[in-house]
Every structure is written in C-alpha cells, then in structure tokens.
Structure 1
Amino acid sequence: MLRVCPPAREGSQDGAGGRKNDLLFDGTAADAAEQLAASLMAQLTPPWTRWFGLAAGHALTSEEQNALAPILDQAADIVQFNLDRSNFAVEMHQCFLDLVVGGTASLLFEEAGPGEVSAFRFTAVPLADVVLEEGPEGRLDVTFRHCRFTLLPALRKRYPEAVLADDLERQAQDDPDLRVEVIEAVLPENHGYHYAAVLAGDGGGLDTTVLAEGRFQVTPFINFRWLKAPGEVYGRSPVMKALPDIKTANKVVELILKNATIAVTGIWQADDDGVLNPANIKLVPGTIIPKAVGLAGLKPLEAPGRFDISQLVLTDLRARITHALLADQLG
C-alpha cells in the first residue's frame, strides 16, 4: 500500500531516498489520501487553535468546580502555547497520513531539553520502524521501536547514562559513519509502563547492552487505529478498502500511456522474404515486423484496441477511490 498511496512514504523494504514511484501511473489515491489527512488535521487538531479543554470532574461540588475553572483554563493556555511552538502540527500530519494509508499510527511524545522554544517534542514513528501489540487491557500500548543513530554522540545524547563497550567505541573512531541500531520497548507493568533501550544485534542474551531503563506513569507512545477488526492488532484503513480500485486504475493508466506511445511512434510492417518467428517479435513502439514481399511495402500496424472505453472505466474507478477515501465528503 505504501508503494501506491502515497508514493513518498518509506516502506519496510525500501531504502531511504529510494525510487518508490517508478511503477506508479495514477495519482488519484495519493491525492485523496493527502486530502483526507489534511481534513482530519483541520477538524481534529487544527494548528494554532484551541482544540481541547480542561474541566473539573463530577466528583467535585459546583463551588469547587467554579474555583478550579480559571486555574484549569490557565493550564490549558500553557499547554496550547507549547503545542503551537512545538513540531506537533508537522508530526501529527504525518501520523494522519499513516492512519489513512496503513490504518495505524504512532506518535512519540517527549519532553524537550532545557532552553528549547517548546517544552514538548513529537516524533511520528514510521510503521516500518515500530511493532505494536495490545496490552492486558486491550489497549494498543505495547510498543517496540527500532531506532538508528549514525553518530555516536547522538546516541550518547539520547542515552547519557549508557555504558558502551570498548569495541563499539573503537569502531566509531575508525568509521565516523557507523550506524548504531537500538530497540526501545515500552511494556505495561503494575499500573505503569516499563521502558528499556538495548543495542540491536546483541543476540538478546544476558550480555545484552542495556542503554537505558526506567518507568513511566503513562506510555510516551500514542498509538491509534482507524478501524479494528476482531482478532487483529493493527487497524484497517480506507486505502485498504479501495486498494483493488487503486491497483486497477493504476494499470488502466499504464495501458493508456502505452497505447499513446504506440500511437505516436507506431508499429510498422516491412517486406521480408525470410522466415517469421513470432517468438522474436516484441510489440513495443517503433518495432518493425517483417511480412511477405509485395504487400504494399512499409506500412503501420493498426491497433486493435479502443481506449476511449478505458476513459469511462477510469472515470468510474477514480470516483470510487475518491468516495472510499472520503475526499468528496470532507474535502
């Protein structure tokens, strides 16, 4: 799905900066997914707009609720101030894209360092770098994240108390571009969450290098799904529902472009007194097919297809894709 909608997203088998849209010919699904993600962003978490509120619980009396109201409103203003000056809008939009395409999204919520513009820092974790599981209470709160660090100082900055092996230090000195891979895990434990970060590739034995370990009251990973089927962990997305139409529309546009190329350059027939081997003939633009001598010389080969019908099919497919991705309802 990540190969057809949208083309710029990283897949689990794609390298960074790889060519992912070489076989993509129709952009209807990618455009509709962008529109749906933008609509979700505008209606659920609009930037620079108060989209949440704080209120006292019903366990308090009316007098206590009225006394706490201005304090909670001031706290909401502080939270909104930090949200507006953080990278929340950018990262949340990426999460909505993952939600629309993959059916599941993961947002990492962390505290920014001292002196930063905002107290919050957000990271949209790609689905290719995270493994999710439901906890004992059925919530999607078991998270395993795969991280990569190119420079050793970046690793030390994130895990300042980590004790690294001497051979890793020597490898980093010999190779400045050494990539260090880390697995972060957040697991529910005793009304809280246990956190651990280990070096990937250590084998998982007793000698595994533990970079950091601790406990959270709430999980820093905000995992959410579009639609959940019984017995499944990951969500189902609108793109999954429209995937047959997306693939068909992509193939129809590919055939239309091939037919247009043949219409421009043509496939030709030429006189030849030799033996014709059909296995050696390729119907590609510019091909010259040999034929018997004396049959009007060089002439173009007529195309048997009528691609005006394909336009009708393509129009119907695009309308169904747009409807499945709610672009005609929320756009």
Structure 2
Amino acid sequence: MIIMPQLSPIDVLKRSNAAWLIRDQWRNILEDAYELVFAGINPYTQDKKAPRSMNRQFDSTATASTVRLANRILNEMTPPFDNWADIKAGALLEMTMDKEQIAALDQQLSGVSKLVNILVNSPTAVSARSAAILDTLISGMGVILGIENPEDDVVPITDQAVSQSEVAIEVNARGEIGGIYRKRKIKVREIKDIWPDAVIPSDLLAKLNEKKDPEIEVLEVTYEGGPGSNVAWYYEVLMCAKGQDPHRMVERTYDVSPWTVFRWMVIPGMPYGPGPVLLGLADIRTANKVVEMILQQAAIAMAGMYLVRDDGVLNPDNIRIAAGGMIPVQYTGGNGGASMVPLGTNREFDLGQLILDQLRTAIKKHLYDGTLPPETGSPRSATEWIQRIKDLNQDLGVGIGMMMADVVQYVRRRVEVLIKRGMVPKISVDQLTTKVEINSPLARAQKLSKVQDVINWLQMANAAAPNAVATVANLEKIVAWISSMMGVPPELLYSEEEKKKIQQNIAAITAAQAQQANAPAPSQAS
C-alpha cells in the first residue's frame, strides 16, 4: 500500500499562508456584515472578550430574520433532542442481500443509531450546530470541530463551534475540501489541557515561560492524505513562535476529518461563497443608513437647532450642527436681533419611511423570512405541513442541499469515534455498504412528497377503476414502503416470520369457516 508522505512543518505553513491569502480577501466585507447584523459579537474585533458598541447598527430587521432562519434550519435539518440520524444498509448490500437479511442488519445497526443520536443531541453538540448555522448564514461558512475525549467514556466526543474568522480552507482537484487551517492564540499552560499528547521541547518551553502567563500563536491543521494513501487525514498542531521555525507539537491521523465545514454556496474557482446576509448586504446597509437619518431628523425636530448671533459672547469654534446645536450668524432678524433664535427644521420624512418599508421587505426575502403563512390559528393538516416544509426546501435551494451533505460528514465522524472506542462494531460508513440516512423533518418532507404522489395515484386509480386497483397495486408492499419512507421504527412492524404465522392463522380460520359452511345441516327430529 502506498504511504503518502507527511508534509514538513515548513510545507504545512506554506499551504496555510496560501489558503489565508485567499481568505483575507473576504475580510472587509465580512467585517461589514457582522457590524451591521451582529455588531456585539463581531469576530474580527481585536479584543473578542469585550463586545464593540453597535454604533453602525440602527435597524434590527436583518438580525431578527437571520436568527429566525437559523432556528428554522436547526429545527428542520437537525432537530435538537430528536432521533434524526439513522445508520442503515447501503445500496451495495441491498443489491446482494435479501429482504430478511437487510431487515436483520438494519435492526443491528439501530443500536449504532441510538448511540449516535445521543452524541448529536448533547447540549454542546446542539449549541455548536446552532452557532455554526448562524455563521453560515452571515459569512457563507460555519465550522464545527469534533474533539475526541480519550479518557471520558460517558462523552467520547465534544463538539466545538469554531469562528469562521479563525479558519481558512483549501479545495483539492475534485473541488472538495482538502485542507483546514485554523489560527488562534492560546496560553502555554492550556496546551496540555487541549492536547494531552502535545510534545514541546524543554528549551523552547523554558524560553516561553520566561514571560508571565505567556501566550503563543498555534496553527491547527488538517489535510487529506491523498489518493492511494493509507492515511485519510493528517491532523497536526504547529507552534509558531516569533523568529523560529514552526514546531509540530501534535500529530494524529483520522479516517474521517474531525472538522465539519458548512458552506452555503461556492463560487466557481473559489473555496468560498456568500451566505444570505452577504447577498442582501446592500439592502441591509441602506436600511441602517435610512433609520440613522430618520433618528437624526427626529432628534433635530425634538431638540431643535438654533441661530446664534456672533456677538463675541459665543465661541463659534465650539458650535456643532446637530440636535441642540448652535450655528453662529451675523444677524438673527428683528431690531438688533436676538442672541439666540430657533432654526426652522420641520421636514416630513414620509419618503424615508416608504423606502425603509421596501428595504425591510427585500431583506426578509434575502433571509427567507415571511415566506410561509403564520403558524398560529387552527391546527394545520398533514398536507399543509408537508407543503410548508417543501416550500422551505425549495426556497433555500442549493444552500440547504450543501448543508445536508455536510451533516452526513458530521455523523460519520461520530461513528468513527464510537468504533475507535470499541462502543460499536467496526463498520464502513461509506454510503455504499453502510450509509447515514438523515431522518429530520426536512428529509421526511422530501419523502412524504413521494408518499403523497403514490396516495394520489391510488385515489385516482380507485376512482377510475375500483375493481382493478387490487389486481394492479401490491397494497402490502405499498404500506411497507410508506412506513419506511415515514421513518416508522422496524420494531413496530411485523417481521416476515410473524407475517407468515398471521397468514397461516387467517388461512386456518378461512378453511374452518368454509368447512362449517359446507357441512350438512343437522337433521330435525320428526
């Protein structure tokens, strides 16, 4: 087997610098987006512990719509505390095994599914997915790092939401993510807590500890092993001290990348693409500016502006044009002129309000807000809920499609950790022999749409030729297919052996009834 050579720290640093050169081209527009939508949590601020003042954000339409969309995607794509991830037999096994074998295998894999759902529904996992989805909607990319806990049998993996501002990615020749590069600063004392297997030269450690509570920059890197390699992914952590070559202090290998990178869309030739907020940033900017101008007009109308005679009493250098401001003039009107008179500033700002309403409508369209009817009122029918989720899926289009594919990768990483810990049998989740099947409301809605088509066909066929339906349609198979499409647990259905017993009982009862009907009537006594 070919072994792909591991990159040297210098080569890793070169690839990282190339990836960050592309990523930095997005910084200005991303910083603008965060300041206008979530100024208090802008990841590009120098001091991330102290939120910046929201001095550029005057309208909260984009904020409210973004949060609402993030919650909808979380609840429809990976609903918290719901069993939405199933591990099942893949297409190759379905081609080579009979139905009974497939059913038995799926029954065994249901135990793996239960453990996976426990992991993906932990509080840290739900929180990480929520943060990553929010980042994806704003910047076009959200990142989760699945950190294995080697000494914890209760929680074998912890999910950590990583700010997209810390991560640069590169794509391979197939257009897939082939490298993830994370820059961050940490305390030297935190290294062993984060990476127990970290190796730091004693002389370098002594030099670092000369400072009080020293802090260093580290580069957390994951890159693929390449075609023909017996290593799928290399995971490394480099120490990047000033004036020194990078030192590799952590090196691991994984079958599945520990990173889950959500991307909303991809621009051809680029590893990145805009999210909904970036697509609507022009309207968001304008709406904030219009609200700012309306507030300024309101402040001037309430506090007023004044003409002040420049008679040597007031200092014109201290005058400012604002609400309550004073403007020096030679003459304020009247006999000699008063020392101070109000300046007429009454202006109707209906035009600004009209523009603002149009902008808010456009922003909501960019963020898919308001496309569905209100959920309050009378109970909704199953058909309406199917249509509701179907509309959401169609509106979100390629964005939600890419994220659903990334969710499969997210689940595969959890299965890998369970296998490594010996908690489940060794299986290959390659989507061919064994597959991850997402059973979330969004995925179920896609299946229910197919179910609806079959039901409509049955109704139309029954109306056209009632006696022909039973001879054309295998109703037993249709019911079994509907149960599988709707995610009915296998243990709630009769097994093949139980079906045979039921059929035998029905046949026995039918035979007994026929025998009783054909029996001669008892003779009556004369």
Q: Do these two structures clear the TM 0.5 threshold for a shared fold by scoring above it? A: yes
Which is worse superposed, 51-60 or 174-183? 174-183
Supply the distance in 2 between the matched residues of 1:271 and 1:38 (Cα, whole angstroms): 58
Supply the distance in 1 between the matched residues of 2:178 and 2:70 (Cα, whole angstroms): 23
Letter in 2 for 1:301: L
Choose which of 213, 228, 235 in structure 1 pairs with 2:273.
235
Choose which of 362, 375, 382 in structure 2 pairs with 1:320.
362
Which is worse superposed, 2-11 or 40-49? 2-11
1:74-122 CA-to-partner distances (Å, cap 9, x unmatched) read 1101111222235110010000011100011111112224336422211
Match of 1:257 in 2: 295
The answer to whether the aligner puts 1:135 opposite 2:167 as a matched pair is: no
The correspondence of residues 279-298 of structure 1 with structure 2, limited to 5 A, is 282-291=320-329, 292=331, 294-295=333-334, 297=338, 298=340
Instruction: Describe the shift of the 1:273–1:58 C-alpha distance in structure 2 as closer, same or farther (beyond 3 A).
Output: closer
Supply the distance in 2 between the matched residues of 1:113 and 1:8 (Cα, whole angstroms): 36
Choose which of 346, 352, 359 in structure 2 pairs with 1:310.
352
The answer to whether the aligner puts 1:224 opposite 2:285 as a matched pair is: no
1:141-195 CA-to-partner distances (Å, cap 9, x unmatched) read 410012332251x201333333324455345655453222210111111351122
Choose which of 49, 52, 73 in structure 2 pairs with 1:40.
73
Greater than 6 Å deviation, 4+ residue runs: 277-280
Match of 1:188 in 2: 224
Match of 2:186 in 1: 149
Instruction: Describe the shift of the 1:23–1:115 C-alpha distance in structure 2 as closer, same or farther (beyond 3 A).
Output: same
Structure 2's unaligned 5+ residue stretches are 1-32, 375-526
The correspondence of residues 268-279 of structure 1 with structure 2, limited to 5 A, is 268-272=306-310
1:292-324 CA-to-partner distances (Å, cap 9, x unmatched) read 164363321112642122111111111111111
Larger radius of gyration: 2
Supply the distance in 1 between the matched residues of 2:90 and 2:274 (Cα, whole angstroms): 34
Supply the distance in 2 between the matched residues of 1:185 and 1:50 (Cα, whole angstroms): 32
The answer to whether the aligner puts 1:102 opposite 2:171 as a matched pair is: no
Supply the distance in 2 between the matched residues of 1:309 and 1:217 (Cα, whole angstroms): 60
Choose which of 41, 44, 47 in structure 2 pairs with 1:12.
44
SS of residue in 1 equivalent to 2:55 = coil
Which is worse superposed, 116-125 or 292-301? 292-301
Instruction: Describe the shift of the 1:316–1:279 C-alpha distance in structure 2 as closer, same or farther (beyond 3 A).
Output: farther
Instruction: Describe the shift of the 1:106–1:10 C-alpha distance in structure 2 as closer, same or farther (beyond 3 A).
Output: same
Supply the distance in 2 between the matched residues of 1:177 and 1:327 (Cα, whole angstroms): 47
- 8 Å Cα contact 2:42-2:52 kept in structure 1: no
- 8 Å Cα contact 1:268-1:286 kept in structure 2: yes
1:204-246 CA-to-partner distances (Å, cap 9, x unmatched) read 74xx321111221111111121111211211211111110110
Supply the distance in 1 between the matched residues of 2:125 and 2:235 (Cα, whole angstroms): 23
Match of 2:240 in 1: 200
Instruction: Describe the shift of the 1:20–1:128 C-alpha distance in structure 2 as closer, same or farther (beyond 3 A).
Output: farther
Instruction: Describe the shift of the 1:282–1:250 C-alpha distance in structure 2 as closer, same or farther (beyond 3 A).
Output: same
The count of residues paired between Structure 1 and Structure 2 equals: 327
Could you tell me how far 1:279 is from its partner in structure 2? 9.2
Q: Which structure dedicates a bigger proportion of its chain to helix?
A: 2
1:264-300 CA-to-partner distances (Å, cap 9, x unmatched) read 21111234457xx999863212222234164363321
Match of 1:24 in 2: 57
Supply the distance in 2 between the matched residues of 1:316 and 1:230 (Cα, whole angstroms): 32
Structure 1's unaligned 5+ residue stretches are none
Match of 2:83 in 1: 50
Supply the distance in 2 between the matched residues of 1:213 and 1:56 (Cα, whole angstroms): 33
Supply the distance in 2 between the matched residues of 1:270 and 1:158 (Cα, whole angstroms): 65
SS of residue in 2 equivalent to 1:328 = coil
Supply the distance in 2 between the matched residues of 1:300 and 1:317 (Cα, whole angstroms): 34
Match of 1:67 in 2: 104
- 8 Å Cα contact 1:85-1:117 kept in structure 2: no
- 8 Å Cα contact 2:237-2:248 kept in structure 1: yes
Letter in 1 for 2:237: A
SS of residue in 2 equivalent to 1:156 = helix
Identity %: 29
- 8 Å Cα contact 2:39-2:52 kept in structure 1: no
1:42-80 CA-to-partner distances (Å, cap 9, x unmatched) read 100110001121211232212321220111111101111
- 8 Å Cα contact 1:140-1:224 kept in structure 2: no
Supply the distance in 2 between the matched residues of 1:254 and 1:171 (Cα, whole angstroms): 52
Instruction: Give RMSD over aligned pairs.
Output: 2.6
- 8 Å Cα contact 1:25-1:254 kept in structure 2: yes
SS of residue in 2 equivalent to 1:229 = coil
- 8 Å Cα contact 1:28-1:322 kept in structure 2: yes
Letter in 1 for 2:252: G
Instruction: Describe the shift of the 1:204–1:40 C-alpha distance in structure 2 as closer, same or farther (beyond 3 A).
Output: farther
Supply the distance in 2 between the matched residues of 1:190 and 1:300 (Cα, whole angstroms): 75
SS of residue in 1 equivalent to 2:235 = strand
When the two structures are superposed, what TM-score results if normalisation uses the length of structure 2? Answer: 0.58
